[in-house]
Amino acid sequence: MPAVRNFALYAAGSVFLNALLQVTVFVSALVIDLKRLESSRVDCFPCVRLPPRIALLEAPPTGSGLSVLARFIRKYYAPFLLKPLVKGVVLLTFAGLLVASVISIQHIQLGFDQRLAFPSESYLIPYFDHVDAYLDIGPPVYFVVHDVDVSQRPGQQQLCGRFTTCAPFSIASSLELERNRTEVSFVSQPAASWIDDFFNWLDPNKDKCCRVRKNDPSTFCEPGESPRRCNACYANREPAWNITMNGLPEGDEFMAYLRQWLISPTDEDCSVAGKASFGGALALSEDGSAVTASHFRTFHSPLKSQADLINSLAAARRVADDLAAATGASVFPYSLHYVFFDQFAHIVPITEQILGLGLAAVLLVTALLLGSWRTGTIVTGVVALTVVNVMGVMGVWGIDLNAISLVNLVISLGIAVEFCAHVARAFMSAGSGLPVDHPAGQKERDERMWLALVDVGPSVLSGITFTKLIGMCVLALTRSKFLEIYYFRMWLTLIIFGALHGLVLLPVILSLAGGSGFPQQEADEEWMSHAIRNDYEYTPFLADDDSTTSD
């Protein structure tokens, strides 16, 4: 799908440039700012230098330097979340969300209402509303036929529908049958059959249609030429013009009459002439000796919803396949809206493929960078659950699946990783881990998870969740339904579920089945020093449990 491909290229380039700027320009800017700070210069006015301050010896560091959010997570949230009963409630709750989301996904509609592209006060919105309410006919649909020799009788019989020797399931006859079951075919009007009108143009009873000179039958008369100088084309022919098609033109004679028919004006004297009605319905070869393609025009029934527009395309393709099978010709349908709605014929498998490949990439990268296939699999599973929950809300909140929402789902997958990766990294870096089946393994994983939540929980909330949430809330004020539905609703859902999965579900699962952490001597010094620094105010909750037990 071009829209998704273009987004992927744009996003990949943006992420690469962002990473490059962060490890170069951003780091350099931080160094410059640190030098400014060390030289006691004012941030907004670096030319102004403050007098040096005398540093006094302070008391040993305490946890009072922690933010309110960090203190809350350390003292209340992390110990509460890692209680066995709470873990069970969390798992059951998210399992229920998964089931509800899977059910809701079945109700996601395909399409993109064109009214969403306009501001809410646009005059075009009531116009489209009135079209849906009062227009009693749908858009025209053309069944294009090629690879059939219409200059020969067998080919003519595969196309016509008003003569007794036409094939039972010819193009014209089959389209008439489809018109009688509009609810299935979405065809509501009789098809305009050029070959039937052409043969009727030759009928000598229509003495003002096809005429030739009396003194030169090879020359056609002009429309306003005197009747005394002209004869009907098929007057005095043997056999005479008839509805069995016996004696009607074939070969070069057929093409000669056809070329004249295509330039004959359609007027009140001859309504079956071809210039106005079928001037663009046939494509002739360069020398005009053959018909390379032609179309049969009809109309859809009124298409009042996105589902009708999508189903009309599927029905037209089914009709075209049936026509091709019955006649041996190559047939394809075309209507104005097919160009846009063709995406919905493949969007469901494309969505499954793209999200599946994205999850596979997440599994590979997280497993390699975290050093544990077990932890990488858990992170990938939580990311997948986040995307499933976002899709579940799409079904409830009236967000259709199209190229735009598919791009947002791909973004959801990437941002869900951002919510989970920091917690998983902190969990793996919190010290060496014991095997899952080790007697002390559960207690050791709980302690590592506690350290991870204390270290990165505040950053995930303040640096990822709150910043994105504030930015998305601005879109709630937009007058564009397009921005409200496909950006505010989807991104708000993503941020909420991403935070819940990253800070609630993932810690619980990692504490139950997380992989072994990095060896103690290889653990990041930052994690360990931070954990020791935090320990000045509150001893870990597991240590409290031990002391309580020993008492």
DSSP per-residue string spanning 301-326: PP--SHHHHHHHHHHHHHHHHHHHHH
What residue spans of 82-239 are helical by DSSP H?
84-105, 124-134, 153-159, 171-179, 182-185, 194-201
CA distance 516 to 427: 9
CA distance 322 to 310: 19
Dihedral sign from CA coordinates of 102, 106, 109, 110:
positive
CA 198-241-170 angle, to 5 degrees, is 50
Residue 45 CA to chain centroid, in angstroms? 49
CA 82-85-89 angle, to 5 degrees, is 95
3-state secondary structure of 231: strand
Q: Looking at residue 518, what is its pLDDT?
A: 65
Q: Could you tell me the domains of the chain?
A: 58-106+346-550 (1.20.1640.10), 139-344 (no CATH)
Q: Looking at residue 548, what is its pLDDT?
A: 41
Give buried/exposed letters for 90-122 (b at 16+ CB in 10 A, else e).
beeebeebeeebeebbeebbbbbbebbebeeee
Tokens 């008492």 belong to residue: 551
CA distance 204 to 211: 9
Residue 238, both tokens? 């043997």
Tokens 């870990």 belong to residue: 540
230 has which bridge partners?
213
Residue 149, both tokens? 């020799």
Residue 406 CA to chain centroid, in angstroms? 4
Residues 6 or more apart in contact with residue 149 via CB below 8 angstroms = 155, 290
CA distance 243 to 234: 13
Residue 290 CA to chain centroid, in angstroms? 43
Averaged over successive runs of 10 residues, the pLDDT of the chain (551 residues) comes to 78 87 90 86 80 59 64 88 92 95 94 85 88 90 95 94 94 95 94 94 90 88 86 86 91 93 90 91 92 96 91 96 94 94 91 94 92 91 95 92 91 91 86 54 76 86 84 82 88 92 92 73 49 46 44 41
Dihedral sign from CA coordinates of 276, 278, 284, 288:
negative
First-last CA distance in the chain: 66
Q: Looking at residue 74, what is its pLDDT?
A: 87
3-state secondary structure of 108: coil
Whether the CB-CB separation of 152 and 265 falls below 8 Å is answered with no
Q: Looking at residue 293, what is its pLDDT?
A: 96
CB-based burial of residue 208 (10 Å sphere; 0-12 exposed, 13-18 middle, 19+ buried)? middle
Residue 122, both tokens? 């646009």
Number of neighbours of residue 144 by Cβ within 10 angstroms: 17
Residue 265, φ and ψ in degrees, nearest 5 = -70, 140
Q: Looking at residue 433, what is its pLDDT?
A: 55
Residues 6 or more apart in contact with residue 412 via CB below 8 angstroms = 386, 387, 390, 490, 494, 498
Nearest to 313 by CA among 279, 347, 283: 347
3-state secondary structure of 332: strand
Residue 374, φ and ψ in degrees, nearest 5 = -65, -50
Tokens 């075309």 belong to residue: 334
Q: What region does 431 belong to: left with phi over 0, alpha with psi -120 to 50, or beta?
A: left
H helices, E strands: number in the chain: 24, 6
CB-based burial of residue 523 (10 Å sphere; 0-12 exposed, 13-18 middle, 19+ buried)? middle
Whether the CB-CB separation of 443 and 480 falls below 8 Å is answered with no
90 has which bridge partners?
none
